[in-house]
Amino acid sequence: MKTDLFITGIGTGIGKTVTSAVLTQYFKADYWKPIQSGDLDQSDSLTIKSMIDNDLIIHPERFKLNYPASPHQSAAMENFEINLDDFQLPNTENSLLVEGAGGLFVPLNNYEFMIDLIAKFNLKTVLVVRDYLGCINHTLLSIEALQQRNLEIAYVVLNGNFEPATKDVLIKNIPKTTQIIELPELNLLSKENINKVSKSLKIK
């Protein structure tokens, strides 16, 4: 069965790329990062490619921006503006995982945000969460924003170790129709570890 998902998160640096690698491997899916800002020599697409099976397809980014900032700022520094109309999903009959940049309200331009791109594609979402001071607030706000746009939250990923009290609140407030996926703390990102974690998943 074809599974198309948009990987988003409650912020930056919380494990979207690790989650993308695990789920791309699990679903034997194609992977696509629409916008890469900075780190072009070590992009998320290149990272994913190094951690999944060699026969899985990585689609080229729509925008590769040199400056490591939000897409609207990086694009402005290169004298152009990103718009929703610039994006079309890659043509594939395989399952597709799309990885966003940062959180839901990372700006594409002054008026359009990452959540608008999810709505344009009308994909089920995967919300990645990591434990830090403020993560409960950021998680519940993200869930509410997705629900207000009638965007389906297929999975919430709890990435790494969580304080029990934090985890308890999160689990009690994640929608009942959303499956919770718990990923272990990965101290070493490698193809072997990503494959091992993906094989351990039990996803509905």
For residues 90 and 110, give the distance between their C-alpha atoms in angstroms, rounded to a whole number.
Answer: 25
- Count of structural domains within the chain: 1
Q: What is the mean pLDDT of residues 60-72?
A: 92
Q: What is the mean pLDDT of residues 99-110?
A: 96
Write down the pLDDT at residue 146.
98
Does 103 count as an annotated binding residue?
no
Does the CA dihedral 119-124-181-97 come out positive or negative?
A: negative
Does 112 count as an annotated binding residue?
no
Q: Say which CATH number the domain at 143 has.
A: 3.40.50.300
Q: Is the pLDDT of residue 67 over 90?
A: no
- Has 124 been annotated as catalytic? no
Q: Is the pLDDT of residue 75 over 80?
A: yes
Does 9 count as an annotated binding residue?
no
Q: Encode pLDDT of 9-36 as tens digits.
A: 999 889 999 999 999 999 999 999 999 9
Does 178 count as an annotated binding residue?
no
Residue 113 is part of which domain span?
A: 4-200
For residues 68 and 74, give the distance between their C-alpha atoms in angstroms, rounded to a whole number.
Answer: 7
No. of helices (H) and no. of strands (E), the chain: 7, 9
Is the CB of residue 67 less than 8 Å from the CB of residue 103?
A: no
For residues 121 and 89, give the distance between their C-alpha atoms in angstroms, rounded to a whole number.
Answer: 7
- Angle, helices 164-173 vs 135-148, to 10°: value is 10
pTM, two decimal places: 0.96
For residues 118 and 22, give the distance between their C-alpha atoms in angstroms, rounded to a whole number.
Answer: 20
Other residues' Cβ atoms within 10 Å of the Cβ of residue 196: 14
Q: Where is average pLDDT lowest: 30-44, 71-85, 110-124? A: 30-44
Exactly one of 33, 64, 124, 199 is catalytic; name it: 33
Does 15 count as an annotated binding residue?
yes
Q: Encode pLDDT of 159-175 as tens digits.
A: 999 999 999 999 999 99
Distance (Å) of CA 4 to CA 1, 93, 125: 10, 10, 9
